[in-house]
Amino acid sequence: MRSKLLVVLDADNTLWDTNSVFEDCQRELLEMLNDIYRHSRTEITFDRLREIDQSIAESHPRGLRYPFSILIRRLREIMIGKAGPDDPLDAELANRFYQELAAKTPPLLEGVNEGLALLKSAANLVILSEGGQSRIPILLEKYAISDYVRATEYVTSKTSEEFYRIRRQYRHRGVIKEWSIGDQLAKDIGPAAEANFSTVFVPGGFDSKWNQTYNGAEPTYVARDFLDAAEYIIKDLKD
Ligand SMILES: [Mg+2]
């Protein structure tokens, strides 16, 4: 049977909890820095680190994917109380951070397995992700969900053009309705709605402050978890 739906899925913090892994690594990094600069006057708390992290991401062209050495340098300057020259330690700690991050496996989020199983017969499931080429296939295999997913598309930025492009592809295959599921309004909901997708917002544990709105775009539905999102989409198909 040909599937009538296209469901575009976000990966990070929608399928698995990338944020918790990120937070673990940031906490380890902070502990290391507080230890290295323990004679400085200013000890930095984790909440303060997150504020600084967000303010860097907000003004950096790569957003949350900005190079981590920038954060380390900023933390170091606050700890020692002045802007210092480049320190090779910044890059070294950033490298260690990335290695730690790569070594950890984000846990699958609540309801994802059940939700994907529910959607698979009615929908073409396509993952749309900004980066993650090396991680996503590994995680899909690890959690035994790769068979549910028809394709994974990697884009530099989730724009409405990308959603339109995928929509056209599947309209040719008999799809009559498109959905996008994700945890970020500015990436998964706004651009998808512009491309005539219906949308389900599954708020995650973390979203950058400037991503909380997207030109007033309202998601079609706000779900408690991934299974709730899937059930809503299936119910809508039957109605
Ligand atoms: Mg996400």
Cα–Cα–Cα angle for 208, 212, 216, rounded to 5 degrees: 155
Q: What does the alpha-carbon distance between residue 5 and residue 229 come to, in Å, rounded to a whole number?
A: 14
CB 187 within 8 A of CB 130: yes
CA-CA-CA-CA torsion sign (196, 201, 207, 210): positive
pLDDT at residue number 102: 85
Please give the distance, rounded to the nearest whole angstrom, from the Cα atom of residue 209 to the centre of ligand 1.
14
pTM equals 0.85
The two structure tokens encoding residue 163: 């959603």
For residue 36, report the distance from its CA to the centre of ligand 1, in Å.
33
216 C-alpha vs ligand 1 centroid, how far in Å? Answer: 19
Give the torsion through C-alpha atoms of 167, 171, 175, 179, to 10 deg: 10
For residue 85, the CA-to-ligand 1 centroid distance in Å is 35
The backbone torsions φ and ψ at residue 230, rounded to the nearest 5 degrees and listed phi first, read -65, -45
Ligand 1 centroid vs 193 CA: distance in angstroms? 16
Distance from the alpha carbon of residue 134 to the mean position of ligand 1, in angstroms: 16
- pLDDT number for residue 207: 55
Q: Which residue positions in the chain have pLDDT lower than 50? A: 210
Give the model confidence (pLDDT) of 35-76 as tens digits.
888 887 788 899 999 999 999 988 998 887 889 999 999 999
CA of 215 to the centre of ligand 1 (A): 18
Tens of pLDDT, residue by residue over 192-216, are 999 999 999 998 766 555 455 555 6
Please choose, from the candidates 122, 175, 131, 178, the residue with its C-alpha nearest in 3D space to the C-alpha of residue 153: 131
Domain residue limits, the chain: 5-17+107-238, 19-103
The number of residues in the chain equals 239
Question: Which pLDDT belongs to residue 101?
Answer: 87
d(CA 110, CA 16): 9
pLDDT for position 208: 53
- Residue 200: helix, strand or coil by DSSP? strand
In the chain, count H helices and then E strands.
9, 6
Q: How far is the CA of 52 from the centre of ligand 1 (A)?
A: 20
- How far is the C-alpha of 239 from the C-alpha of 228, rounded, in Å? 16
**Fold category of 5-17+107-238 in CATH:** Rossmann fold (3.40.50)
pLDDT of residue 107: 96
Task: Specify whether the CB–CB gap between 147 and 22 falls below 8 A.
Answer: no
SS3 61: coil
The pLDDT value recorded for residue 46 is 93
Residue 98 phi/psi, 5-degree rounding, is -65, -35
The phi-psi region of residue 60 (left if phi > 0; otherwise alpha if psi is between -120 and 50; otherwise beta) is beta
Q: How far is CA 62 from the centre of its chain?
A: 14
How far CA 239 is from CA of 8, 168, 233, 235, in Å, comes to 21, 24, 10, 6
Q: How far is the CA of 73 from the centre of ligand 1 (A)?
A: 26
Residue 80 is predicted with a pLDDT of: 85
